[in-house]
């Protein structure tokens, strides 16, 4: 565990402008740590309280101060990610993911209808052979049953990601629909991330490095899960994406495409992001460009906000 003062001396806070609104934001702020083992990222979303955000800091510290695990592959298949945009905007979004054979489509957006979701999914299905959807827990059980039927009327879905908020609802839905169920928030936001598996409430586990406390912690959880794993990003910068790719590369088996292509949502990132080749991204380290770190630096007020947040999370990081 590094000293707090050492962490603060190595801290860079950046604000990354986004091409489209995603998770309700158009600028993504993250704090980066220039450590002796590499660069780490602390990017817990602002609304997260310190106990939850501390896991994200642990992930950043791990990347900055600890050696990387052994990997089993040098590239990782990724899915295209389609935000809750109008169907007419889908081709523009998919153009940022050349060669992707799988697409994840956001659904259940507040203020939108199931008809909007169906139109968006059908527009994606017209261009990409494998489609999965992510509701972020936005449906009740009856709504999820209806959505599963509507969204598969014109073609199959690879899976429904976090269609409902609770493990009990996921388990009930899994018994009522033929579409596979994937769990995300029920794993990364749970005090017991393995409960959803023991409850037989999911067919696929979506794991994110930062919310789970780092690559090592994610791999420990993955080793206890007997269903396929999908590694996904948490709207990370190039630094965080590199850690997700590393985690996916370290898994003994990788059946599904991973949600690690979200770098295309940024107008500019802290490092040059390689474009996917045939739907794959390479595994490797990322070193931010000093000019980009300077040009994308957050305001002094926002930097101080992140410093105070790091101070608050630091004592909780490895409890």
Residue numbers in the known binding site are 134, 161, 184
Q: What is the DSSP string of 149-211?
A: HHHTTTS--S-EES-SSSHHHHHHHHHH-SS-EEESHHHHT-SSTTHHHHTT--SEEEEEHHH
**Three-class SS of residue 218?**
helix
Residues contributing to the annotated binding site for Mg(2+)? 134, 161, 184
Q: How far apart are CA 85 and CA 109, in angstroms?
A: 10
Annotated catalytic residue within 106, 174, 217, 243: 106
| Kind and range of the H or E run holding 63 | helix 50-65
208 is catalytic: yes
Task: Note if 106 is an active site residue.
Answer: yes
Residue with tokens 């794991």: 207
Evaluate whether 105 touches 82 at the Cβ level (below 8 Å). yes
Q: Alpha-carbon distance 164 to 142, whole Å?
A: 10
Instruction: Choose, from 104, 208, 243, 309, the residue flagged as catalytic.
Output: 208
Q: How far, in Å, CA of 55 to CA of 42, rounded? A: 9
Nearest to 119 by CA among 82, 144, 145: 82
Question: Any idea which residues carry the catalytic annotation?
Answer: 106, 208
């Amino acid at each position: 565990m590094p000293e707090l003062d050492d962490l603060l001396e190595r801290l860079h806070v950046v604000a990354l402008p986004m091409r489209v609104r995603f998770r309700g934001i158009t600028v993504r702020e993250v704090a980066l740590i220039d450590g002796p083992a590499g660069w780490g990222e602390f990017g817990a979303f602002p609304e997260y309280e310190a106990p939850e955000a501390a896991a994200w800091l642990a992930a950043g510290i791990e990347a900055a101060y600890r050696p990387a695990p052994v990997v089993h592959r040098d590239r990782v298949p990724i899915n295209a990610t389609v935000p809750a945009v109008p169907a007419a905007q889908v081709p523009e979004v998919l153009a940022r993911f050349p060669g992707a054979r799988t697409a994840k489509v956001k659904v259940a957006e507040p203020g939108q209808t199931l008809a909007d979701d169906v139109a968006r999914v059908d527009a994606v299905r017209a261009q990409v052979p494998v489609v999965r959807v992510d509701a972020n827990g936005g449906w009740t059980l009856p709504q999820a049953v209806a959505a599963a039927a509507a969204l598969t009327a014109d073609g199959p879905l690879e899976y429904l990601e976090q269609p409902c908020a609770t493990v009990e609802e996921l388990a009930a839905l899994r018994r009522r629909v033929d579409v596979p169920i994937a769990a995300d928030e029920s794993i990364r936001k749970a005090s017991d991330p393995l409960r959803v598996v023991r409850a037989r409430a999911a067919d696929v586990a979506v794991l994110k490095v930062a919310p789970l406390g780092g690559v090592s912690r994610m791999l420990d959880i993955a080793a206890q899960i007997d269903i396929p794993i999908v590694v996904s990003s948490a709207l990370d910068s190039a630094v965080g994406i590199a850690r997700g790719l590393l985690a996916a590369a370290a898994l003994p088996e990788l059946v599904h495409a991973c949600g690690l292509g979200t770098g295309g949502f940024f107008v500019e990132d802290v490092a040059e992001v390689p474009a996917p080749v045939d739907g794959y991204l390479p595994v490797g380290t990322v070193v931010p460009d000093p000019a980009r770190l300077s040009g994308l630096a957050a305001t002094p007020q926002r930097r101080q906000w992140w410093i105070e947040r790091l101070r608050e999370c630091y004592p909780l990081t490895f409890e």
